Each structure stands twice: as C-alpha cells, then as structure tokens.
Amino acid sequence: MLTIKDNYYFRKCLLINTFNFKEEENEITLSDKFLKFGNKAIIITYDHFPVFAQRLESVLNDDPNVFSFHSSKVEYVPNSHSGQLGIFRKFEKFSWQHEYRLRVQQTKNSGEAFQLKLGDLNGLVTVMDTKDMIGIPIIKK
C-alpha cells in the first residue's frame, strides 16, 4: 500500500473519478461540494459505459507510455485513521464523492500531463453544467 508521501508515484498517475454506490444504496444525490470541481461534468450512462470502458482499455493497452493501469472503488476509512492512505483509500470525510478510480502509471515521468486520446465521444457522453446535477438522484441499475 502506498502512503501520501509517495509523491513521485502520484505524479505518474492519472485519476478518473466515477460514482461508487455502497452495497446498500440504490441511489445517490450529488453534494453541492461538486461545484468546486468545475462548472461542467461529463456523464456516461450505464448503457454507454461498456463501450466507453472497452475503448479506454484498448487505448491504454496500446499506449507505449502506459506501464500499468488499475481501477477500483475508493475505500473510505475513518477520519481518525493513522495508517497508510493511497490512490484507492481516503478519509471518510470525502465519502460524499462516491468514487471509483482509474490509476494509470506511465513508463516514465515526463513532467507533463498524461494525455488520454479516446477519439470522438459523441453519442457516448453528455456534457452538463455541474449546477444542474446537484440534488438530482442518480439511480443504480
């Protein structure tokens, strides 16, 4: 497990967040705290996600700059936790984010942002204003 001090490791990774439903949850409502993340959100519906995920995996597998990638639900630990944290482990005060993350480790650290080129996403994603999503229930299928 990695610790927060592993800055070199974090600099070489790309994080993509999606929604992580708890086992007992059938729906979640987005917190207004998401407004701090930006004024736009990209929505990929359940029906389109398999195509998106297949394209994402294909692009990552074919990219010579990608050493490895892994996705997982984020584990939220008690705020009093004094052990290790990492890309897939955060304090429960952030549980409102309902995260599922993708970590991409590059073969070398160029010091520049990793560019992920997925091609045309028309028909797979919808762009919405973040403010329009706040308070609207997202239902688990």
* Per-residue model confidence as pLDDT tens digits over 72-118: 888 999 999 999 999 899 999 998 888 888 888 888 877 777 788 88
Question: What φ, ψ does residue 97 adopt, rounded to 5°?
Answer: -80, -20
* Per-residue model confidence as pLDDT tens digits over 37-46: 888 888 887 7
What is the reported pLDDT for 93?
95
* Residue 133 vs residue 93, higher pLDDT: 93
Q: What is the mean pLDDT of the chain?
A: 78
For the chain, how many structural domains are there in total?
1
Residue 55 covered by a domain: yes
Q: Which domain holds residue 70?
A: 7-109+118-139
Residue 1 covered by a domain: no
Question: What φ, ψ does residue 121 adopt, rounded to 5°?
Answer: -105, 10
What is the reported pLDDT for 140?
64
Residue 2 covered by a domain: no
What is the reported pLDDT for 19?
58
pTM of this prediction? 0.69
Q: How many contiguous H segments (helices) and E segments (strands) does the chain have? A: 3, 9
**Separation of alpha carbons 30 and 10, rounded Å:** 26
Residue 93 covered by a domain: yes
**Separation of alpha carbons 141 and 44, rounded Å:** 13
